[in-house]
Amino acid sequence: MKILLLITLSGEIVRGFQTGLTEEYIVLPVDSLEKGADLMRTARISMIAVDVAISEKGGGWIKGHKAIPDLLWIGIVPSNLSGEDLDRYHEMFHEMIAAPLSKESLSAVIRKSQERQDMLNELEHFRLQSVSSPERYSGRGEGPPLTFEPLEKAVALSRTFAASFDLDKLISLFLEAVMDVIGVGRISLFLFDEADGVYKIKGSRGLRPDLASRFSLSCDSGMVLWLSAKGRVLRGDRAEADAGQKTVLTRALREMELLQAIVSIPIMSDGRLLCLLNLDSKITGEAYSNTEIERLFVLSNYFGRAIQDIYNYHRVCYQKEYIQKILERMGSGVITVNDREEVMIFNPKAEEILHRKASDLIGRGAGFLPPAIATLIRETVRERKVYRRHEIVSEAEGLYLAVDTYGLYDIAGVLIGGVVLIDDISARKELSRERKRGETLQVLNELVGRMAHELRNPLVAVRTFTQLMKDRYNDQDFQEFFYTTVTGEVEKLNNLIEKLIAFVHPIEYKFETVDMGELIEKSLESILKDLKASDLRIVKNYAPGIFKLSADKAQLSKAFSYILQNSFIAMNSGGTLTVNVESLLKDAMIRVSIKDTGRGIPQEDIERAFDPFYTTPEKGVGLGLPLSQKIIEDHKGKVTIESAPNQGTTLTVLLPIAASTREEV
């Protein structure tokens, strides 16, 4: 950064300089020569631009101050000057610019002035290197012994401020201690500002407030580049440049001059430049000794660690606040525990669901949580179990909860705790129960309606014959017809009621070893004796005494009777029934296939074949197949159906083979 002192009464000229110069320059405008002189005594000015119209005394004033070394003078002159006045101003100023100003002309004048200044700085640097150092800077460079005890106490005290995370107090304490111990007149501390990507003065003593507030160093400034690359103290009185770094060093020394500093101490953190501590000469005029610089360097870097601790603390606080906001807005309850099963996080949603306060649970064991949740936490932490949408009932709260659990692991893979996510699904469960109650009621209504229809048909026949019996009781033909018809209708009623009872109530089974061939044979006989169709053909691909299984003979026989009866009803006009029985030794199962050549079932109705309310005009309420499925599944078996319109239907039954069958085969 460079400071340009602008002396003018024209607001237009001030605006021209402020908008026409780059951020590398700080423009300090004043409206009189006297104010300009005051600034020259207190600030390290690089250039002075003087409006010749400001005062008739301007020439004498400039001549009196032109002896100040390394100061460039720019004259702001009218555009209609005579040749004589132009020569006079050439003697007064290094460069001139005509008013009104243009951005291009101003940039050109500043660039020429900067080139002139860089050349002078290079010459001065070479001159200093060629002159031998005074005796006070030779050899050890040691001065009178200086006690650093107050500064060391300040660094120790800085840890207290670091613990309270007050950065401003920490910097103020350190700068005051350095000034008191070293006896320095001006001091400044640059701190990297991550938001703007530059180094700004965070604290200073002895610098003009307007300069301190506006002065900044970019990452490619001379001081930052040199200190970052070297990592050691930069002393203006002893600086030596390596090959290829002369330009960087020259820029760094010029920036130190603007800061009125002769020593710049880098404060590093994680290999990068965190701060720059800049010191002016001692108020006594004595040079800094090597011991002083070394101790300052060490103590400054301890101070830098305290700053880094504050940064880390604020970063953790920000992350914690960020996570806390996420937890507060989550739709699920979140509970985290450490490896001792102590509650560490209990978010607002968890408070709402479980009706517990986080303040009553944080730091306490999982045993203070509802027992069902505490059990899952223990299994997660101790046994490393993981649950996904696991449903539990919290009886004390009367809640149904869906729970997910996860283990928490550190970078080394060591379990350090667990996380529990909870969702209240009570409303959903209640809705599901209501839906099931509604479905059950609907099923009951439908069942009652259809049963009433099925019961009415045989009852109509019984009622009719009962009414006729009084008049035709002595009629022998009527008596025989009455007996046959009424008995058949009553049997239908009895079978329907038996199926209904078996379907809605658990069946008690008595298992024994059963021969599959014999069981199917008897089931066929019981069905065929009541059939009147004469054009039915039955193909039997099985033989008794081969296939054995453990079953309730009576109940399983009913199951196959219902299946066979369903097949015969589908072939009421005749057809072929094929029964295959085979063993699947690999799966230890018996497979029974019953295939008919009836009309078949439409594809869209196959899934409804085991629905008790899937009816056809021929068979009425279809309780047979659903009851068969229930009995077979109670025998640890399975029944499937394949069918197509006009191609017949095949029902396949799989049942476990008894141990004796496997030994015999």
Low-confidence ranges of the chain (pLDDT < 50): 129-143, 161, 617-621, 661-665
Task: Read off φ and ψ for residue 635, nearest 5 degrees.
Answer: -90, 15
**pLDDT recorded at residue 135:** 41
Question: Quick one: which of 415, 334, 407, 341 has its CA closest to 378?
Answer: 341
Task: Read off φ and ψ for residue 138, nearest 5 degrees.
Answer: -85, 160
Integer Cα distance of 519 and 393 in angstroms:
47
Integer Cα distance of 509 and 551 in angstroms:
8
**For residue 379, what are the contacts with CB-CB under 8 A and spacing of at least 6?**
385, 405
Integer Cα distance of 138 and 238 in angstroms:
11
Integer Cα distance of 331 and 336 in angstroms:
16
Q: Kindly state the tokens that stand for 389.
A: 């949408």
**pLDDT recorded at residue 647:** 84
**pLDDT recorded at residue 159:** 55
Integer Cα distance of 649 and 642 in angstroms:
6
Read out DSSP for 409-455? E-TTS-EEEEEEEEEE-HHHHHHHHHHHHHHHHHHHHHHHHHHHHHH
Read out DSSP for 117-149? HHHHHHHHHHHHHHSPPPGGGSTT---S----H
Angle at 338 between CA 333 and CA 341, to 5 degrees: 85
Domains defined along the chain, listed by start? 2-131 (3.40.50.2300), 149-314 (3.30.450.40), 347-418 (no CATH), 429-504 (1.10.287), 512-664 (3.30.565.10)
Integer Cα distance of 508 and 552 in angstroms:
9
Q: Kindly state the tokens that stand for 247.
A: 């330009």
Question: Quick one: which of 203, 197, 241 has its CA closest to 219?
Answer: 197
Strands 2-7 and 47-51: what pairing? Answer: parallel
Q: Kindly state the tokens that stand for 300.
A: 């400054």
Q: Give the chain's end-to-end CA distance (angstroms, integer).
A: 101
**pLDDT recorded at residue 137:** 37
SS3 99: strand
* Cα 15 to chain centroid, rounded: 50
Question: Quick one: which of 372, 375, 380, 326 has its CA closest to 353?
Answer: 372
- List 337's β-bridge partners, or say none: 343, 418
**pLDDT recorded at residue 157:** 52
**pLDDT recorded at residue 116:** 74
Q: pLDDT tens digits for 300-326? A: 888 888 888 888 878 877 777 777 787
Judged on CB neighbours under 10 Å (0-12, 13-18, 19+), 605 is middle
Angle at 285 between CA 280 and CA 288, to 5 degrees: 65
Integer Cα distance of 332 and 404 in angstroms:
10
Position of tokens 């070479």?
126
Question: Quick one: which of 612, 602, 608 has its CA closest to 643?
Answer: 602
Element (H, E) at 473: none
Task: Read off φ and ψ for residue 192, nearest 5 degrees.
Answer: -70, 130
Cβ atoms of 36 and 15 within 8 Å: the answer is no
SS3 232: coil
